[in-house]
């Protein structure tokens, strides 16, 4: 069965239960909402491991060839069907007539190029055992016989389908919304060409929050329809209700060569585990962790690098730096341009850095590969080629052999107006903004 995000668009649906007929209520189509995010809004790149905005809004803009359905199983999305055996390989046929949000045909060559682009960015390790496909008409032919692994790899949000020549500054996909930049923010408008059905809402206005409290202030004073990270900062908004759709990424602390002997596997996580959760409450980092013994920095004065355009990360970096410091061994948060942070992380010329890591999928393996990809050094590739047996393991445990430590979760959490329904995403993680509905006024 083809995965459909908007099956309700057909209108009212009836279920026959024995002799009874039960009518499901009609879902309201239309309406607008607005909110602010403490993340940079200048670009969205679904293939970047460190793109916090893609972690939150990616499902609203992009699709994958395969995705999870409501039962949690993988199902075709932009693909027409499951992979079909062909000689020594597998054929993945794309659905006919798919167009992007700008009405451009989305063809097999676009899918091939999207996979190649993902391989050069955040999905390099994840795709280590997925050979490059060749294009044959509407199909991609992969020289591999492992259909289950291929489907799982292609279902990752970091292997999202984007057209050839994709630009993060003007993101174009096949998802339920179309992105338009406006006045430093963005407008997500219903995409009537969406491959799995358009959004229910007409429009979503997303603005940049200059600080952590700006979103809640706007929500509690009646300006915005969502307030991120919590509610009740000043006073609870009448009729509002909380939402928590779980984590979409992690905030991670990395060690670099300037940390000297502290630049060793497991050290970053021990430092993170030593931070009392009470000191990081405003960031909604998920369940509290057990602090066995507080670890602090004992070297010379050091800097904690963080990208200057991500308000949430900058504020978190300051709180983390203060927690790691002690007299004579201070750690200072240093916001830098994203390009500088990327360059210094690549060369490992830093003591500490704070950044975002997205999971490759919702499994333990997807979590481990994401964290290992942030650590670099080919560890992610080794893990994919020789996957360990993982049960229900905490991300904080998975980093014991890495030079990155999990500070906490980045959660889709806050308060919303009473007539707004926010479903969790089955296809990816977090929020299914395309499935959000706003009750019509009577």
Tens place of pLDDT for every residue, the chain, 442 residues? 445 555 544 443 333 333 334 444 566 789 999 999 999 999 999 999 999 999 999 999 999 999 998 888 999 999 999 999 999 999 999 999 999 999 999 999 999 999 999 999 999 999 999 999 999 999 999 999 999 999 999 999 999 999 999 999 999 999 999 999 998 899 999 999 999 999 999 999 999 999 988 998 899 889 999 998 855 445 678 888 899 999 999 999 999 999 999 999 999 999 999 999 999 998 999 999 999 776 788 888 999 999 999 999 999 999 999 999 999 999 999 999 999 999 999 999 999 999 999 999 999 999 999 999 999 888 999 999 999 988 788 999 999 999 999 999 999 999 999 999 999 998 888 999 999 999 864 3
319 in a structural domain: yes
- CA proximity to 125, closest of 376, 319, 408, 338: 376
163 in a structural domain: no
1 in a structural domain: no
Both tokens assigned to 13? 């649906």
Partners of residue 67 on adjacent β-strands: 75
Digit-coded pLDDT (tens) for 40-79: 999 999 999 999 999 999 999 999 999 998 888 999 999 9
Query: Which residues neighbour 330 within 8 Å (Cβ) at sequence distance 6 or greater?
Result: 301, 302
35 in a structural domain: no
416/219 Cα distance (integer angstroms):
8
125 in a structural domain: no
Residue 22 has a pLDDT of 43
Both tokens assigned to 168? 């993060």
- Radius of gyration of the chain from its Cα atoms, rounded to whole angstroms: 22
Cβ atoms 431, 422 nearer than 8 A:
yes
294 in a structural domain: yes
Residue 153 has a pLDDT of 97
Range of the domain at 335: 247-411
Query: What DSSP string runs through 382-441?
Result: HHHHSPPP--S--HHHHGGGSSEEEEEEEEEEEEE-TTEE-PBPSSSSSB-GGG-EEPPP
312 in a structural domain: yes
Query: Which residues neighbour 147 within 8 Å (Cβ) at sequence distance 6 or greater?
Result: 82, 83, 85, 90
Residue 203 has a pLDDT of 97
- Split into its structural domains, the chain has a count of 1
CATH code, 327: 3.10.105.10
Q: Which long-range contacts (CB under 8 A, 24 or more apart) does 367-373 make?
A: 367/395, 367/398, 368/398, 369/125, 369/126, 370/49, 370/122, 370/250, 371/250, 371/252, 371/395, 371/398, 371/399, 371/402, 371/404, 371/406, 372/125, 372/402, 373/49, 373/122, 373/124, 373/125, 373/126
Both tokens assigned to 246? 């779980």
Element spanning 230, H or E:
none
Which residue in this structure is represented by tokens 């200072």?
332
**In 218-288, where do the E strands start and end?**
226-228, 241-255
Both tokens assigned to 397? 């445990």
Residue 239 has a pLDDT of 83
403 in a structural domain: yes
- CA proximity to 154, closest of 6, 359, 360: 360
378/367 Cα distance (integer angstroms):
16
């Amino acid at each position: 069965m083809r995965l459909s995000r908007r099956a309700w668009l057909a209108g009212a649906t009836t279920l026959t239960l024995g002799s009874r007929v039960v009518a499901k209520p009609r879902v309201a189509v239309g309406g607008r909402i607005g909110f602010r995010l403490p993340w940079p809004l200048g670009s969205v790149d679904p293939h970047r491991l460190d793109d916090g905005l893609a972690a939150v809004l990616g499902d609203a803009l992009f699709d994958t060839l395969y995705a999870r359905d409501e039962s949690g199983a993988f199902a075709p999305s932009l693909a027409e069907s499951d992979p079909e055996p062909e000689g020594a390989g597998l054929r993945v046929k794309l659905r006919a007539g798919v167009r992007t949000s700008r009405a451009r045909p989305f063809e097999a060559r676009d899918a091939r190029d999207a996979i190649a682009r993902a391989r050069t960015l955040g999905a390099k390790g994840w795709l280590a055992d997925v050979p490059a496909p060749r294009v044959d008409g509407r199909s991609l032919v992969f020289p591999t016989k492992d259909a289950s692994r291929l489907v799982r790899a292609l279902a990752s949000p970091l292997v999202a389908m984007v057209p050839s020549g994709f630009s993060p500054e003007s993101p174009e996909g096949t998802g339920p919304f179309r992105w338009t930049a406006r006045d430093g923010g963005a407008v997500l408008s219903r995409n009537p060409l969406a491959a799995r059905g358009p959004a229910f809402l007409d429009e979503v206005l997303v603005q940049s929050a200059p600080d952590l409290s700006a979103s809640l202030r706007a929500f509690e004073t009646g300006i915005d329809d969502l307030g991120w990270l919590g509610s009740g900062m000043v006073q609870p908004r009448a009729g509002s209700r909380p939402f928590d759709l779980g984590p979409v990424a992690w905030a991670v602390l990395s060690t670099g060569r300037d940390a000297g002997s502290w630049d060793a596997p497991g050290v970053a996580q021990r430092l993170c585990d030593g931070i009392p959760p009470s000191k990081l409450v405003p960031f909604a980092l998920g369940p509290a962790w057990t602090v066995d013994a507080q670890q602090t920095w004992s070297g010379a004065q050091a800097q904690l690098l963080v990208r200057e355009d991500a308000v949430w990360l900058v504020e978190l970096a300051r709180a983390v730096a203060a927690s790691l410091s002690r007299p004579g061994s201070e750690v200072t948060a240093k916001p830098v341009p994203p390009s500088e942070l990327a360059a210094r992380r690549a060369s490992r010329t830093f003591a500490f850095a704070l950044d975002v890591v997205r999971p490759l999928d919702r499994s333990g393996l997807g979590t481990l590969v994401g964290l290992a990809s942030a650590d670099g050094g080919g560890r992610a590739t080794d893990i994919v080629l020789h996957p360990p047996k993982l049960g229900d393991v905490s991300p904080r445990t998975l980093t014991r052999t890495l030079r990155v430590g999990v500070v906490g979760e980045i959660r889709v959490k806050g308060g919303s107006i009473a007539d707004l329904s926010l479903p969790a995403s089955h296809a990816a993680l977090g929020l299914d903004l395309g499935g959000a509905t706003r009750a019509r006024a009577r």
